[in-house]
Amino acid sequence: MSELPPANILIVDDEVAHMKALCDTLQGQGYKTTGFSAPALALAEIQAGRFDVLLTDLMMPEIDGIALLDGARRKDPHLAGIIMTGEGTIATAVEAMKSGAMDYILKPFKLRAVLPVLERALSVRRLRLQNAALELSVRERTAELELANRELEAFSYSVSHDLRAPLRHIDGFTNMLLEQHAGTMSPEGQRLLGVVMDAARQMNGLIEDLLRFSRLSQQPLTKESIKTGELFREVLDELQTERAGRQVEIRLSELPDCQGDRALLRQVVVNLLTNAFKFTRQRENAMVEIGGSLQERERTYFVRDNGAGFDMQFARRLFGVFQRLHSAEEYEGTGVGLSIVQRVIVRHGGRIWAEAALNQGATFFFTLPG
């Protein structure tokens, strides 16, 4: 016969002869067995991980099989329990299974009936142990990630905060130098000083965006009912200067309402529309389209433009902090805007992705739960 996986079986039966016979028989099949005729003594021996299967008689004095199994499972939740019962108490054995027993076998036992039941019980126990190990690993990994995120956010905030003071000095003193000594400086010196001032302003923008990004994880969500169409229209009105003097066609379809944090979702709309206007700047006839749809359990929205687009092979970098797919000389920005958009959408339980082609525009989709 095929070799059975090694297992430690605890056998409890107040009929001593029956208990010893079962111990000897299963030992002959490659199992390690421990037998008790007194349930209280057996219960005292149970420790987590010591036994794989508890094989107990149903009807015993002082402690019956159901009570023994209940006590054993409190000590070792992964212990597999099997009830032994006579023909006349099968209904009671079924009730025992509802209380946590995995299976039952009939007395007097037959080996061909006992072995398959043991195999099933051991398989379930192995699955229980694997699941428990996996859950523990997931909990530990989640705790590690949460700690790493907290440390990263604290580091980002601290670095950003500490960088602002020397940056203010650089900006202030370069301004003073230019105002008070411009007349004694050569044109090249003034140009170089201007480069320093521009770099300081750019760094200040990076710091502000980094601070804004780090605060997103700490800011609690305050959800309310939002008329999404009105939100987009408000932002479009506020961003009129972004398209002043340009020919930009705005297509705004009916949008499904949603539930969310209005301030944070407004930031999403601002960032997506600002990007659309920025990257269509080189188009003579620019177009920005906004639409959405309502499914059973989520709302989907999109912002589409016919601007610069990007190569989809770089799409995985799109939502990274300070990741840019276009040079700063072509299009201004720090590369944090889309990271903020993604963080807000994910915190709302939604998804965000993009579809684009180089020089053929881009479409940003995001979802919010229904």
Three-state secondary-structure class, residue 139: helix
Please report, for the domain that includes residue 30, its CATH number.
3.40.50.2300
Q: Are 265 and 344 in contact (CB under 8 A)?
A: yes
Instruction: Work out the pLDDT band at 228, boundaries 50, 70, 90.
Output: very high
Q: Do 202 and 252 have their domain in common?
A: no
Report in angstroms the alpha-carbon separations of 231 from 248, 277, 318.
19, 17, 25
pLDDT at 236: 93
Q: Are 343 and 217 in contact (CB under 8 A)?
A: yes
Residue at which a domain ends, from 216, 237, 261: 216
Name the residue among 252, 215, 222, 247 with its Cα closest to residue 235: 252
Q: Do 76 and 16 have their domain in common?
A: yes
Name the residue among 249, 318, 319 with its Cα closest to residue 284: 249
Q: Do 271 and 188 have their domain in common?
A: no
**Does residue 56 fall inside a structural domain?**
yes
Long-range CB pairs of 186-191 (<8 Å, 24+ gap) are none
The domain of 364 spans 223-369
Q: Do 66 and 162 have their domain in common?
A: no
Query: Tens digit of pLDDT for each residue in 155-186?
Result: 666 766 677 778 888 888 888 888 888 888 88
pLDDT at 88: 56
Rounded to whole angstroms, the Cα distance separating 109 from 212 reads: 71
What total of structural domains would you count in the chain? Answer: 3
**Does residue 118 fall inside a structural domain?**
no
**Does residue 96 fall inside a structural domain?**
yes
**Does residue 203 fall inside a structural domain?**
yes
Name the residue among 292, 270, 267, 289 with its Cα closest to residue 280: 289
- The dihedral built from the CA positions of residue 311, 314, 315 and 319, taken in this order, carries a sign that is negative
Residue at which a domain ends, from 165, 186, 216: 216
pLDDT at 245: 76
pTM (2 decimals)? 0.50
Q: Do 191 and 237 have their domain in common?
A: no
Q: Do 239 and 205 have their domain in common?
A: no
Instruction: Work out the pLDDT band at 193, boundaries 50, 70, 90.
Output: confident
Rounded to whole angstroms, the Cα distance separating 354 from 161 reads: 33
Instruction: Find which of 55-69, 85-99, 343-357 is predicted with most confidence, using mean pLDDT.
Output: 343-357
Rounded to whole angstroms, the Cα distance separating 275 from 363 reads: 11
Rounded to whole angstroms, the Cα distance separating 309 from 280 reads: 9
Name the residue among 264, 277, 278 with its Cα closest to residue 347: 264
Q: Do 240 and 261 have their domain in common?
A: yes
For 82-120, the DSSP string reads: EEEE-GGGHHHHHHHHHTT--EEEESSP-HHHHHHHHHH
Q: Are 268 and 333 in contact (CB under 8 A)?
A: no
Residues 38-56 as b/e (b if ≥16 CB within 10 A, e otherwise) read: ebeebbeebeeeebbbbbb
- Alpha helices by DSSP H, listed for the chain, are 16-28, 39-45, 65-75, 90-98, 111-181, 187-216, 228-238, 262-279, 337-347
**Does residue 124 fall inside a structural domain?**
no
Residue at which a domain ends, from 51, 81, 109: 109
Residue scoring higher pLDDT (145 or 347): 347
Please report, for the domain that includes residue 342, its CATH number.
3.30.565.10
Rounded to whole angstroms, the Cα distance separating 187 from 185 reads: 7
What value does the mean pLDDT take over residues 244-266?
Answer: 89
What value does the mean pLDDT take over residues 244-262?
Answer: 89
Entry field: residues in the chain: 370
**Does residue 71 fall inside a structural domain?**
yes
**Does residue 328 fall inside a structural domain?**
yes
